Amino acid sequence: MKNLEQYIKDNRDQMELEVPNPENWSNIEAALNKKKSRRLWVYWSAAASLVIIAGVLVLLPNYMPMTSSNKIINKGSDSQYASESLEIIENPEQFSKLRYVEPIEPNNQEITKVEKITMVQESERESDLTTETKIDSKEDQLAEAETYIALVDSSPNFIMDSVTVAYTLDSRYEFETTVGMADKTLYGYSSNGSYDLQGTVDGAKAGTWSVSSQGIGLAIVENESYFAMDEKVRKSNKGADVLFEYDENLKGEDYNSIKENDFKVVLSEPVSTFSIDVDGASYTNVRRHINDGSMPPKDAVRIEELINYFQYDLPEPKDDIPFSITTELGDCPWNKKHKLVQISLKGKSIEKAQLPKNNLVFLIDVSGSMSSGDKLDLLKKGFRMLTNELREEDRVSIVVYAGAAGLVLEPTAGNDKPKIMEALDRLEAGGSTAGGEGIELAYKTALENFSKKGNNRIILATDGDFNVGMSDQDELIELIEEKRKSGIFLSVLGFGTGNIQDGTMEQIADNGNGNYNYIDNVLEAKKVLVTEMGGTLQTIAKDVKLQLEFNPLVVSSYRLIGYENRLLAREDFDDDTKDAGELGSGHTITALYELVPTGTEGSLNQSELKYTVPTPTYDTTYSNEVLTVKFRYKPPKEDKSKLIQAVVKNNPKSSPSLNYTMATSVAEFGMLLRDSKYKGESSYSHALELANKAKGEDKNGYRSEYIRMVEKAKLISGKE
Amino acid sequence: MQLEELLIKQCKKNDPKAQKELYLRYSKAMYNICSRMLADQEKANDILQEAFIAVFSKIDQFKGGSFAAWIKRIVINKCVNEIKKNSRVSWENIDDHPVEEVSNDHEEQLNVDFAVINDCIKQLPDGCRMVFILKVMEDYNHSDISEELKISESTSKSQLARAKQLLRISLSKSMVA
């Protein structure tokens, strides 16, 4: 008797032999839809004081089958670093399919007006959703409100589905907004009496804002320039006095605030997209602060720029691809449970003799602020060194700007060095800056001497203080974006100390298809203008974007280290009109992702998409793949992108390469400087240990200098 | 389990995709419970639907622990209510039914076709079938069963014994046949 019972018990899994009627689900769905009206929607459309934000639901690309004609190259590469397989996607204009997770069908492709806000009141006593009565009473209060404030987040990467606003009441309100509302996202609101409302605005133009106001109210306003940095009090168009408390510490040197990338759950965000970044400006700036005996401001530390300051030993590209791709999977030095994956690109090296003709316009800031200290002198020295490298076929013009912009050197042949030098020597500082006018003139000059096959580039040298004329950052960027189409690239060189408008300069370079470097001494001028000239000035691929798709079987969550201001929306990857970074000849680009392996305890902790949940019928045939990385780039003179992809297998290297060791040391150091919440067990000593291991030959002494800087930072900070 | 937590969280937000995913994950196992408990395919499908509608409507009340156990309780409740609604379950004492003597010949070779076992379970009378399924297949103990079916523990025990006897009889019959 016991046997029978035990036998059934042991085999009950195998006794599930029947299958339910397939129609059951549609019946359940229909019944659930009827019940749905229980949700607590607050409709606002009638309120006269409201302006409705138009938002767009996340539009997922149309998934089309990939053609089978994709070419596999680099298989069994002789380089120990190169990716195992590299695939050229023959029809890059087609949106490619997700590899590991079944794509979700877009549930709504129409542009939708957001007309409702869900208010969820979270009380300390009960965790359930609030009752309707509570909402009603809140609604009554809101109806009487006289003042309205809204903070609008303009970050293009904002894909949260809810915004939590905390303030000094014992409850908090959460606004659920539409996913992927692009650049118009509700952020906050005012509260009664003297309650302070505060929060951090993702991607806002400066630091952290706090807001206080009178009255009860809530409104959504359109994304206008409510975040102008230079005013303390702004009036919203709804008549409310909004006090923006400006962080005085940020005055002077102005850094765009960086909100560190968080871990993303692979199942809700399987894909991570960003643009490459070749700037090394942050490194130099950090070094200046540390050499001066102070720790750099957190927001001056852009980890990807620190990492990319160094050259890495990477293979030359093969076949038709303008860059090589190298990946490496290894342990995470600051968190034993995690892994890191390094992805590196190296642009094809072009010998200088083969370089196309240069059509260069030096756009030089000679405003009053440039006269202080070393700025203009350093600038002149740097350009003299660059001039020495020029050839007969190259053309140089010089445009200066201050009170007014002017052409001080007509286009001149590269071998007429005395003439160029003389013009440089004559430069004097004085007047205030009309940067906008100068940029206009520089583009005009560059265009007049445009060389079809050549390298047409404006090199803007400034301390970035655009304070006359087109002083609005957005306006300036608009101009540069427009000029970009002409095929002229813009490099920005930041000079001097104490007056750096770092954010402005980086944005200018980014929007002008260029790069930004910060120059604080002659050696740096040489590094940027001479040693790297071949790279910086010769673009071999433009609009280079990376999109990684993580395999949920292997990775449960991931975090991109750095690149905070280079994140792209998922759909931007396939959108050729979306600008991205440039890769120069011989340049190396490295990105690190911190990975939480699937099965790691306590790893799920982030927000997820509201409207789309991946169907987790992932394919186990890929169980040995960590991720697939896709690259899009355009040849410098083309408008249509090419697509290639590589797969990272789950085979960690037995001993990490020097490249990996160096990059992880710099990342660790950067996280310490930023006081990252993910710094884990990072320490200066450990970063030093790694750097010493990775020093290698160090021909130019950059790594030794880095080691000295980390030692110094360790002393200044007084930490291990 | 991470994915499941995520799905439940989404279901709490009435996300239709997550609901469907959860349904797909559990529908087969739950249907088999329904089918066995109710011994009627059509009813089993109906009750399965009802149960899942209840699951998604009440999902806010799920506060952690085993989701599978939670969902199973709802399904079993629905099944028990359905059976009680439609027929008066007789909880006769086992002694009222003399049981045939059965030889133990087959006990050593119990590799019976599972479909046959399922069929035999479904042929059991409502009362002892429920007790048998809950006790043997769903890991309820007698006190759980007594609560669920509103019977005494001793009734539960005697019904289980009867179910096993009846099952052995019908199994040996079907094997002989």
Is A443 inside any structural domain? yes
User: Judging by DSSP bridges, how do beta strands A642-649 and A625-634 pair with one another?
Assistant: antiparallel
Chain B: residue whose CA lies nearest to A7: B110
- How far is the alpha carbon of A385 from chain B, nearest alpha carbon, in Å? 58
DSSP A610-643: SS---B----GGGTTEEEEEEEEEE-TT-SS-EE
User: pLDDT tier at B93 (50, 70, 90 boundaries)?
Assistant: low
Whether B15 sits inside 8 A of A610 (CB atoms) is: yes
**How many CA atoms lie less than 13 Å away from B103 in the CB half-sphere?**
6
Task: List, in order of start, the domains of chain B with CATH numbers.
Answer: 2-86 (1.10.1740.10), 94-176 (1.10.10.10)
B105 — contact with chain A (CB < 8 Å)?
no
- At residue B36, the pLDDT reads 93
When pLDDT is averaged across residues A679-690 and rounded to a whole number, the result is: 94
Is A4 inside any structural domain? no
User: pLDDT tier at A708 (50, 70, 90 boundaries)?
Assistant: very high
pLDDT tens for A277-319 read: 766 778 888 888 888 888 888 888 989 989 988 888 899 888 7
- Asked if residue A287 lies in contact with residue A708, where contact means CB atoms within 8 angstroms, the answer is no
Whether B118 sits inside 8 A of A268 (CB atoms) is: no
User: pLDDT tier at A707 (50, 70, 90 boundaries)?
Assistant: very high
Q: At what angle do helices B153-176 and A2-10 cross, to 10 degrees?
A: 90
Mutation pick from A23, A24, A58 vs chain B, by most beta carbons of B within 10 Å, is A24
- The torsion region of residue A293 among left (phi > 0), alpha (psi -120 to 50) and beta comes to left
When pLDDT is averaged across residues A682-691 and rounded to a whole number, the result is: 94
Is A525 inside any structural domain? no
**A546-577 b/e (C-beta count within 10 Å ≥ 16 → b):** bbbbbbbbbbbbbbbbbbbbbbbbbebbbebe
Whether A16 sits inside 8 A of B107 (CB atoms) is: no
Please say if the pLDDT value at position A140 is more than 60: no
Instruction: Using a pLDDT cut of 70, give the percent of chain A over it.
Output: 58
Q: Tell me: do A171 and A156 sit in the same domain.
A: yes
Please say if the pLDDT value at position A709 is more than 90: yes
Instruction: Compute the distance between CA of residue A113 and CA of residue A274 in angstroms, rounded to an integer.
Output: 28
Please say if the pLDDT value at position A570 is more than 50: yes
Helix (H) or strand (E) holding B55: helix B41-57
Please say if the pLDDT value at position A182 is more than 60: no
Please say if the pLDDT value at position A134 is more than 70: no
3-state secondary structure of A542: strand
Instruction: Compute the distance between CA of residue A558 and CA of residue A44 in angstroms, rounded to an integer.
Output: 38
When pLDDT is averaged across residues B53-66 and rounded to a whole number, the result is: 87
DSSP state of A61: P
Of A179-183, A519-523, B4-8, B125-129, minimum mean pLDDT range = A179-183
**Which has more confidence, A483 or A39?**
A483
Q: Tell me: do A515 and A371 sit in the same domain.
A: yes
**Which has more confidence, B34 or A104?**
B34
Distances (CA, A) of B89 to B72, B127, B166: 22, 6, 17
Q: Tell me: do A327 and A358 sit in the same domain.
A: no
Question: Which residues of chain B neighbour A129 with C-beta distances below 8 Å?
Answer: 60
Is A94 inside any structural domain? no
- At residue A431, the pLDDT reads 52
Mutation pick from B11, B114, B116, B171 vs chain A, by most beta carbons of A within 10 Å, is B114
Whether A17 sits inside 8 A of B28 (CB atoms) is: no
Please say if the pLDDT value at position B40 is more than 70: yes
Instruction: Compute the distance between CA of residue A613 and CA of residue A569 in angstroms, rounded to an integer.
Output: 18
- At residue A618, the pLDDT reads 54
| Residue A157: Cβ within 10 Å count | 22
Chain B: residue whose CA lies nearest to A30: B53
CATH of the domain at A646: 2.60.40.1230
Chain A: residue whose CA lies nearest to B162: A1
**Torsion over CA: A373, A379, A380, A384 (sign):** positive
pLDDT tens for A571-610 read: 889 888 888 888 888 888 999 999 998 877 655 534 444 4
Please name the member of B20, B41, B167 whose beta carbon is closest to the beta carbon of A4: B167
Q: Tell me: do A610 and A547 sit in the same domain.
A: yes
B59 — contact with chain A (CB < 8 Å)?
no
Q: Which of A221, A250, A279 is the last residue of a domain?
A: A250
**Which has more confidence, A23 or A473?**
A23
Reported ipTM: 0.85
Q: Tell me: do A338 and A367 sit in the same domain.
A: no
- At residue A353, the pLDDT reads 65
Phi/psi at A639 (nearest 5 deg)? -105, -10
When pLDDT is averaged across residues A106-125 and rounded to a whole number, the result is: 28
Please say if the pLDDT value at position B176 is more than 60: yes
Q: Which of A250, A283, A306 is the last residue of a domain?
A: A250
CATH of the domain at A451: 3.40.50.410
Please say if the pLDDT value at position A458 is more than 50: yes
Instruction: Using a pLDDT cut of 90, give the percent of chain A over it.
Output: 14
Instruction: Compute the distance between CA of residue B6 and CA of residue A605 in angstroms, rounded to an integer.
Output: 10
When pLDDT is averaged across residues A345-354 and rounded to a whole number, the result is: 79
Q: Where do runs of H (alpha helix) occur along A36-146?
A: 132-143
pLDDT tens for B118-130 read: 888 999 988 899 9
Please say if the pLDDT value at position A453 is more than 50: yes
User: pLDDT tier at A479 (50, 70, 90 boundaries)?
Assistant: confident
- Asked if residue A439 lies in contact with residue A509, where contact means CB atoms within 8 angstroms, the answer is no
- How far is the alpha carbon of A19 from chain B, nearest alpha carbon, in Å? 6
Q: Tell me: do A214 and A274 sit in the same domain.
A: no
**Candidate ranges A25-34, A157-166, A225-234, B87-96; pick with highest mean pLDDT:** A25-34
Q: Which of A657, A673, A689 is the last residue of a domain?
A: A673
Is A701 inside any structural domain? no
Q: Tell me: do A193 and A334 sit in the same domain.
A: no
For residue A492, the enclosing domain spans 352-520
- How far is the alpha carbon of B73 from chain A, nearest alpha carbon, in Å? 17
- Asked if residue B10 lies in contact with residue B18, where contact means CB atoms within 8 angstroms, the answer is yes
**Which has more confidence, A691 or A366?**
A691
Q: Tell me: do A307 and A240 sit in the same domain.
A: no
Mutation pick from B1, B5, B6 vs chain A, by most beta carbons of A within 10 Å, is B6
Is A664 inside any structural domain? yes
Collect all residues with Cβ–Cβ distance below 8 Å to A83 and sequence separation of at least 6.
A74, A77, A325, A326, A327, A646, A647, A648
Is A96 inside any structural domain? no
A/B interface, count of CB pairs below 8 Å: 117
pLDDT tens for A21-76 read: 888 888 888 888 775 433 322 222 222 222 222 222 222 233 333 333 333 333 33
Tokens 């790694």 sit at which residue?
A690
Whether B2 sits inside 8 A of A267 (CB atoms) is: yes
Q: Tell me: do A317 and A387 sit in the same domain.
A: no
Collect all residues with Cβ–Cβ distance below 8 Å to B41 and sequence separation of at least 6.
A18, B35
Whether A20 sits inside 8 A of B21 (CB atoms) is: no
- Asked if residue A439 lies in contact with residue A479, where contact means CB atoms within 8 angstroms, the answer is yes
Q: Tell me: do A320 and A375 sit in the same domain.
A: no
Beta bridge mates, A72: A87
Tokens 């938002």 sit at which residue?
A55
- How far is the alpha carbon of A129 from chain B, nearest alpha carbon, in Å? 9
Phi/psi at A135 (nearest 5 deg)? -60, -40
When pLDDT is averaged across residues B2-25 and rounded to a whole number, the result is: 81
- At residue A222, the pLDDT reads 26
- At residue A421, the pLDDT reads 79
Instruction: Compute the distance between CA of residue A617 and CA of residue A121 in angstroms, rounded to an integer.
Output: 35
Instruction: Compute the distance between CA of residue A423 and CA of residue A410 in angstroms, rounded to an integer.
Output: 10
- At residue B172, the pLDDT reads 81
**Which has more confidence, A682 or A122?**
A682
Q: What token pair was written down for A39? A: 């949700």
**Which has more confidence, A579 or A615?**
A579
Instruction: Using a pLDDT cut of 70, give the percent of chain B over it.
Output: 84
Q: Tell me: do A281 and A412 sit in the same domain.
A: no
Whether B137 sits inside 8 A of A12 (CB atoms) is: yes
- How far is the alpha carbon of A16 from chain B, nearest alpha carbon, in Å? 6
B119 — contact with chain A (CB < 8 Å)?
no
Q: Tell me: do A458 and A504 sit in the same domain.
A: yes
Is A227 inside any structural domain? yes
**Torsion over CA: A91, A94, A96, A97 (sign):** negative
| Residue A415: Cβ within 10 Å count | 14
Please say if the pLDDT value at position A151 is more than 50: no
The one-letter amino acid code at A408 reads: V
- HEC readout, A218-238: CCCCCCCCCCCCCCCEEECCC
User: How many domains is chain A partitioned into structurally?
Assistant: 3
- Asked if residue A394 lies in contact with residue A360, where contact means CB atoms within 8 angstroms, the answer is yes
Whether B10 sits inside 8 A of A9 (CB atoms) is: no
Question: Which residues of chain A neighbour B118 with C-beta distances below 8 Å?
Answer: 15, 17-18
Please say if the pLDDT value at position A391 is more than 90: no
Mean pLDDT of chain A: 66
